[in-house]
A and B are shown apart, each in its own frame.
Chain A
Amino acid sequence: MPWEGLTALYAAERAYLDTWTAVAERSPADSAYHAWVQNWSGQPFRAFTALGRDLDELAGAPSPAQAQRLGVLFTRAARFELAFWEMCWSGLAWLA
């Protein structure tokens, strides 16, 4: 199914955008990370989340079995996002 790959991409980009958007709302203007945070939550980056619309168009109305499969893929990809933060915090090896 071509939309399996798109589901993984959507999971990654969506998690990234949502996280940075939430961070931007809290980031003090004098923070060393402020410019960086503004970049990732900015408008150009939102173009990546058009992937969600693509997914809806491409997948149409998936069967329950297909929807469940995409849910598993989405959740697994989203866990990698969390693993990335943890890897850099504690030095845990990359999740496989």
Chain B
Amino acid sequence: MAGLSQRLFALGRPNLERQLAHPTVRGIAAGDLDHTRFRAWLVQDYLFLLDYVRLFALAAARAPDPDTLGRLVDLAHATFHQELSLHRAYAAEFGLAEADLDRAEKSPTCPPTPTSCSAPPPPPSSPRCWPRCCRACGATPS
């Protein structure tokens, strides 16, 4: 039987196909994604990576052994010093200064996905969100 990671990859295959078919991904691949959308992606990815560094640091603090501790610290370090530097450098090519990145805000977050499809609808003041559905059947855009 295939290893666990292989089986998980196979499970994620339909999702990968949806990503590859997504207009953002297709636009980056073809080189014709408009720069406004790419900048929006870059900014959000930058903000995501800052939190990713925090995640690695938190995980490192709880590492069960020295080897794992070292690897998680390395991931935090590489993400902070290499990936984020690359983002800043590339953002500059698209007209975004470091100050623009640092004062950017994360996209609003949807109310939590309900655990039942019969949950009441979100209040009208909510940000524009994904189709409301329960976790069991998954919330994905049409």
Contact = CB atoms under 8 A, between A and B. Distances in A.
Given A87-B44, A89-B22, A79 B15 contact: yes
Interface residues of A, number: 54
B119 interface: no
Chain B, interface size: which category?
35 or more
Contacts of A84: 41, 44-45, 48
B141 A86 contact: yes
B110 A96 contact: yes
Contacts of A62: 4
Interface in A51-96: 52-53, 55-56, 59, 62, 67, 70-71, 74-76, 78-79, 81-96
A46 interface: no
B121 interface: no
A78 to B, nearest CB: 4
A85 B30 contact: no
Given A19-B20, A23-B25, A5 B130 contact: no
Contacts of A14: 9, 12
B8 A11 contact: yes
Contact of B31 (A18, A28, A83, A96): A28
B113 A95 contact: yes
Nearest to A36: B90
Contacts of B139: 79, 95
A45 B44 CA distance: 20
Interface in B97-142: 106-113, 126-130, 135, 138-141
24 contacts: A7-B8, A14-B9, A15-B19, A19-B19, A19-B20, A27-B28, A27-B31, A32-B31, A33-B28, A39-B86, A59-B4, A74-B11, A75-B15, A75-B138, A78-B12, A82-B22, A82-B140, A83-B130, A87-B107, A88-B24, A90-B141, A92-B130, A93-B110, A94-B108
